[in-house]
């Protein structure tokens, strides 16, 4: 029977299943932590055929209902899945490569970015922090608020890069420009920031003008593959996830051709502990064209050009907290979002934000900040103590 098969496949989570006829089933041991209701047979069959898309679409269109806290529910699913006997590493690596082979051409990248980021600035403004930073925050301690933690993240990145006044910085994938503007305003650098999203670049330009930064921050509406200037610093926060495995070599080549021999680079990206294809529903509905790489896969960006990796920091628990705060903000405005788009849209985004939070919490997803330098550059810090010394705060 389909319900039993589905629950067994995900490792028998402590979740009660309620069917359209009111019958309830529970296949696990212990107390249930949630209830999943199927409003019709088709929702259950879709889930059996394709766990990820079947669940994602079923939850979005309301044919599947989660009773109780969605974070608790997803945590329990993550726990059950991870307690299944180990899947084969090489099969997973192979699948990851197969999925990743579909490369992002320039026009396809533009479409993929459009899909997610051109939903409307108004939409993101409603639930992001006031700077509109749509990447993992850095909570210096766990009690800090989201907005403060986003500023701390910007500073953490700037300090890792040891920005010096007057330096030329290239940023690839700049969102609404928060990091670009922060670097120019607080560290005195000149920034050229690239982004494929027309909506984002327009708002970023407005924001920079309002802050009097027009001459020091240039926003370029174009793909990272068109970058050609020389720079002292290359930084990219939250873009690598969208680049696609096949283009890692091209990204490395771009960095290699623009970064000066004594320069510094930083890539901040969602990652995995091992190669694995992107979740099918996320790939279909939320982030088409992306690939979440393992550190080993990321080495395709750095090793062909002999970049020296200086520092890797894993901030996955910070991203779990960031996503949980976004979900809270999102829930507070969900009626407005529903009026702008639809109830299905609201439910899809709830699932995406809650699912991301639990994926970071369970270790399904990681968050890596990677600092690197050109081969042979000795313009590198002696230790990392300066990152944590009060006197080296904000330049």
Q: Interface with a second copy by CB under 8 A: which residues?
A: 82, 89-90, 93, 138-142, 273-275, 294-296, 299-300, 302-314, 316-317, 361-363, 366, 368, 375-378, 380, 382-385, 387-389
**Does an H or E element contain 366, and which?**
strand 366-373
Q: Which CB atom, from 111 or from 273, has the smaller least distance to a second copy?
A: 273
Q: How far is the CB of 147 from a second copy (least distance, A)?
A: 18
Query: Angle at Cα 227 formed by Cα 225 and Cα 230, nearest 5°?
Result: 145
Q: Which CB atom, from 29 or from 141, has the smaller least distance to a second copy?
A: 141
Q: Which CB atom, from 48 or from 312, has the smaller least distance to a second copy?
A: 312
Q: Which CB atom, from 21 or from 388, has the smaller least distance to a second copy?
A: 388
Helix (H, G, I), strand (E, B) or coil at 134: coil
Q: Which CB atom, from 4 or from 94, has the smaller least distance to a second copy?
A: 94
Which residue in the block uniquely carries the two structure tokens 């200086």?
Answer: 310
Report the C-alpha gap between 34 and 14 in whole angstroms: 7
Report the C-alpha gap between 390 and 392 in whole angstroms: 5
Q: How far is the CB of 374 from a second copy (least distance, A)?
A: 9
Quick one: DSSP state of residue 202? Answer: H
The C-alpha R_g of the chain, in whole angstroms, comes to: 22
φ/ψ of residue 171, rounded to 5: -115, 130
Strands 308-314 and 64-67: unpaired
Based on DSSP, count helices (H) and strands (E) in the chain, helices before strands.
17, 11
Q: Which CB atom, from 228 or from 382, has the smaller least distance to a second copy?
A: 382
Q: How far is the CB of 382 from a second copy (least distance, A)?
A: 6
**Does an H or E element contain 195, and which?**
strand 190-195
Q: How far is the CB of 148 from a second copy (least distance, A)?
A: 14
Q: How far is the CB of 297 from a second copy (least distance, A)?
A: 8
Q: How far is the CB of 353 from a second copy (least distance, A)?
A: 20
Quote the crossing angle between the two packed helices 178-187 and 198-210, to the nearest 10°.
30
Tokens matching residue 67: 């009773």
Q: How far is the CB of 207 from a second copy (least distance, A)?
A: 29
Helix (H, G, I), strand (E, B) or coil at 255: helix
Q: How far is the CB of 39 from a second copy (least distance, A)?
A: 32
Quick one: DSSP state of residue 215? Answer: T
Q: How far is the CB of 371 from a second copy (least distance, A)?
A: 9
Choose among 97, 110, 22, 51: nearest CA to 248. Answer: 97
Q: Which CB atom, from 58 or from 355, has the smaller least distance to a second copy?
A: 355
Give the Cβ contact number of residue 94 at 10 Å: 13
Quick one: DSSP state of residue 16? Answer: E
Report the C-alpha gap between 137 and 148 in whole angstroms: 9
Q: Which CB atom, from 242 or from 316, has the smaller least distance to a second copy?
A: 316
Q: Which CB atom, from 25 or from 386, has the smaller least distance to a second copy?
A: 386
């Amino acid at each position: 029977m389909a319900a039993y098969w589905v629950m067994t496949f995900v490792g028998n989570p402590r979740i009660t299943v309620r069917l359209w006829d009111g019958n309830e089933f529970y296949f696990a041991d212990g107390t249930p932590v949630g209830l999943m209701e199927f409003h019709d047979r088709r929702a259950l069959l879709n889930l059996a055929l394709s766990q990820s898309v079947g669940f994602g679409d079923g939850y979005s269109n309301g044919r599947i209902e989660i009773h109780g806290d969605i974070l608790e529910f997803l945590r329990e699913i993550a726990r059950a899945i991870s307690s299944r006997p180990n899947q084969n590493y090489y099969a997973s690596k192979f699948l990851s490569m197969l999925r990743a082979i579909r490369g992002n051409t320039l026009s396809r990248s533009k479409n993929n970015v459009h899909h997610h980021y051109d939903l409307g600035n108004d939409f993101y403004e409603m639930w992001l922090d006031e700077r509109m930073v749509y990447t993992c925050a850095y909570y210096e301690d766990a009690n800090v608020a989201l907005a403060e933690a986003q500023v701390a993240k910007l500073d953490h990145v700037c300090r890792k890069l040891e920005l010096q006044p007057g330096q030329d910085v290239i940023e690839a994938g700049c969102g609404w420009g928060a990091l670009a503007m922060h670097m120019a305003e607080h560290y005195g650098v000149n920034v050229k920031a690239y982004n494929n999203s027309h909506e984002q670049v327009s708002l970023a330009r407005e924001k920079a003008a309002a802050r009097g930064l027009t001459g020091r921050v240039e926003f370029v509406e174009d793909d990272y593959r068109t970058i050609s200037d020389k720079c002292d610093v290359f930084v990219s926060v939250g873009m690598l996830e969208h680049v696609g495995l096949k283009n890692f070599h091209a990204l490395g080549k771009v960095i290699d051709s623009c970064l000066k021999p004594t320069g510094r680079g930083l890539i901040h990206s969602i990652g995995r502990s091992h190669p694995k294809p992107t979740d099918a529903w996320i790939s279909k509905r939320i982030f088409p064209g992306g690939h979440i790489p393992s550190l080993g896969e990321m080495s395709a960006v750095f090793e062909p050009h002999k970049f020296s990796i200086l520092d890797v920091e894993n901030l996955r628990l910070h991203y779990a907290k960031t996503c949980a705060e976004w979900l809270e903000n999102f829930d507070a405005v969900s009626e407005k979002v529903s009026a702008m788009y639809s109830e299905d849209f609201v439910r899809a985004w709830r699932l995406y934000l809650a699912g991301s939070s639990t994926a970071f919490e369970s270790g399904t997803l990681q968050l890596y900040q990677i600092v690197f330098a050109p081969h042979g550059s000795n313009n590198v810090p002696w230790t990392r103590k300066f990152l944590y010394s009060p006197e080296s705060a904000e330049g």
